[in-house]
Structure 1
Amino acid sequence: MKSGKIIILGSGPAGCTAGIYAARAGLEPLLISGPVQGGQLTKTAAIENWPGEKSVSGFDLMDKLMDHAKSLGVNFISDSIVSADLSERPFTLKSENETYRADTIIIATGANPKWLGIPSEEKFRGNGVSACATCDGFFYRDQNTAVIGGGNTALSDALYLANLAKHVYLVHRRDEFRAEQTLTDRIHEKVQEGKITLVLNAGVTEILGDEMSGVSGVRVSFKDGSTKELPVTGVFVAIGHIPNSTLFEGMLEMDHGIIKTGNSCYRTGTSIPGVFAAGDVQDPVYRQAITSAGTGCMAAQDAARYLKEAGAI
């Protein structure tokens, strides 16, 4: 059994930043990295919106963050938690081979984007296919792009890209959007301006291109059986995200898998005192590396204050 004052779940920007601040507060944090050390960001080829870095690969950025955390004494443990007991303190977490206990927990397990599930999508992921327009849209300035989806995220991505790209095709499987009316109205304004083309009642069946040049187009299939190829070099999949919160279902208050925070005097506090959440697992809106890091900082400070007020430190 391993125990400590604080356990951090997740090793992405939120988890590593939480570890840095927790270590500086003298909490000697245990950080359980999960299946991918460094989180999903390690799979991003280039990041150009991290302050102070004009361009850095996700792998290199997370390597720096993890090295910083380790230099302060954060104990990284390569393990995956399979069960949790939050009914009493100290809280108990179990993996296949180990039991962990802590007075506080910071959940920074992130969220995974939903994908289309077609073979060519995996082939071009990171080479023309992305799930983050605000992360990667800059690379497609003055090029034709496609956004797949019909909710708030898809329409927001299409509007964002309309200010960068030469043209945006918005592909949706229905004839009506599921987004807020204000977003829908702005989309139609861009359609009138000739910046966006709506491709409705259609789904992407294949992403076209080659490994050397990347994406050259998408093939869409309409409900009437017809098909069409759209000439694009960037494809942005915006059909939703899946928060990595399944482990805590039935324990913590959630909204469609997003862990609710701010339920107490602690901004990152969850519905159980002493349990905090940071990053994409509690953020359905921004989902940026920098905002995740910011909430990681907040969660560590909240946890330190909670422990002090509880007389644990």
Structure 2
Amino acid sequence: MYDIAVIGSGPAGLSAAVQARARNRSVLVVGGDDRDNPLYKTPRIDNYLGFPQVSGKELLERFRAHADGMGVARKEGRVLNIMPMGDTFYLSIGSEMEQARAIILATGVVWANKYPGEAEYLGRGVSYCATCDGMLYRGKEVVVVGKAADAPQEANYLQELGCKVTYVSDKAPDGLRPDIPFVKAPKVEITGEGKVEALRAGSTTIPCEGVFILRPSVAPADLLPGLVLDNGYIQVDRNMATSVPGVFAAGDCAGLPLQVSKAVGEGLVAGLRAAEYVDHISHSI
């Protein structure tokens, strides 16, 4: 079990992790593919103090090296849900499970308007995890809706597993197996009677029994029941504490302005307060 789990490996998450490690707390940072991080794609940043004209990639690599040097554990993956049980949080990361005493949400901005039919058929053909549920669809028709950079690799995995995969995205995928059909469509709709039976991708209807929707990350409100939002952002107090005890938030997911300096500062506060929270519950046991 870790003392603190940080969801997000951008400036806010890494800043929080460094501060928590400085207070001798064990920390796990869970993040996705760098190609999904807007900072990584930014060619030039002029307003981060002390680092004028630095690229987002270089800045992120410096942050990561600092965290690694502090002994922060990192895991690449997509957190699907967080389950609080007493003084412990259980994190579902793909097909794996991790535990922590406190959580810091640093997911960035996740605009996750659900597709028509997505919520209705969740668990009845709709999945967010290829490695978790792929075996259930061996020999069956499935569709991968690719919104994350690693979605083509997940589609390849499903095809190798024995699923009959069609890949749907608003742009051509990089690294998709040539034997997997690609349908370009910006909008999709999931249909069926009691379970998934087809996916409409633009003017194309694709019969299927499973739909894997692969976004870079899950929206915070879907990760953790009871989390209060304010205009789409996670509501926090001055200590970066959320409405759920033991859960803190920092960076873009906690509101404007969407700037690296603000993310790093909020990450610092969240890391400090999460460490204090862990100390408090440890002394209470």
Give the TM-score band, short-chain normalised.
0.5 to 0.7
Q: 1:299 aligns to what?
A: 270
SS in 2 for 1:6: strand
Aligned-pair Cα RMSD in Å: 2.3
Q: 1:17 aligns to what?
A: 15
Q: Give the 5 Å matches for 1:83-162.
A: 83-112=81-110
Structure number with greater Rg is: 1
Please give the alpha-carbon distance, in whole angstroms, between the structure 2 residues aligned to 1:88 and 1:40: 35
Residues 1:255 and 2:230 aligned together? yes
Please give the alpha-carbon distance, in whole angstroms, between the structure 2 residues aligned to 1:8 and 1:38: 17
CA contact (8 A) 2:16 2:270 kept: yes
CA contact (8 A) 2:111 2:219 kept: no
SS in 1 for 2:44: coil
CA contact (8 A) 1:11 1:31 kept: yes
Residues 1:279 and 2:277 aligned together? no
CA displacement at 1:40 relative to structure 2: 2.2
CA displacement at 1:5 relative to structure 2: 0.7
Q: Normalization by structure 2: what TM-score? A: 0.59
Q: Summarize the Cα distance change of 1:38–1:294 in structure 2 as closer, same or farther, 3 Å threshold.
A: farther
CA displacement at 1:312 relative to structure 2: 5.1
Residues 1:39 and 2:27 aligned together? no
Q: Give the 5 Å matches for 1:193-208.
A: none
Please give the alpha-carbon distance, in whole angstroms, between the structure 1 residues aligned to 2:98 and 2:56: 29
Q: Summarize the Cα distance change of 1:67–1:105 in structure 2 as closer, same or farther, 3 Å threshold.
A: same
Q: Normalization by structure 1: what TM-score? A: 0.54
Aligned sequence identity (%): 31
Please give the alpha-carbon distance, in whole angstroms, between the structure 2 residues aligned to 1:35 and 1:56: 21
**Cα-to-partner distance string for 1:102-125 (whole Å, 9 max, x where unaligned):** 1000000011579xxxxxxxxxxx
Q: Give the 5 Å matches for 1:234-245.
A: 244-245=219-220
> How many equivalent residue pairs?
180
SS in 2 for 1:310: helix
CA displacement at 1:255 relative to structure 2: 1.9
Structure 1: gaps of 5 or more residues: 115-241
Residues 1:310 and 2:281 aligned together? yes
CA displacement at 1:305 relative to structure 2: 1.2
Q: Give the 5 Å matches for 1:153-232.
A: none
CA displacement at 1:304 relative to structure 2: 1.1
Q: 1:62 aligns to what?
A: 60
Please give the alpha-carbon distance, in whole angstroms, between the structure 2 residues aligned to 1:83 and 1:113: 17
CA contact (8 A) 2:110 2:253 kept: no
Letter in 1 for 2:280: E
Q: Summarize the Cα distance change of 1:288–1:8 in structure 2 as closer, same or farther, 3 Å threshold.
A: same
Q: List structure 1 runs of 4+ shifted beyond 4 angstroms.
A: none
Please give the alpha-carbon distance, in whole angstroms, between the structure 1 residues aligned to 2:89 and 2:36: 24
The counterpart of 2:5, out of the listed 4, 7, 13, is 7
Q: Summarize the Cα distance change of 1:62–1:15 in structure 2 as closer, same or farther, 3 Å threshold.
A: same
Letter in 2 for 1:28: S
Letter in 1 for 2:262: T
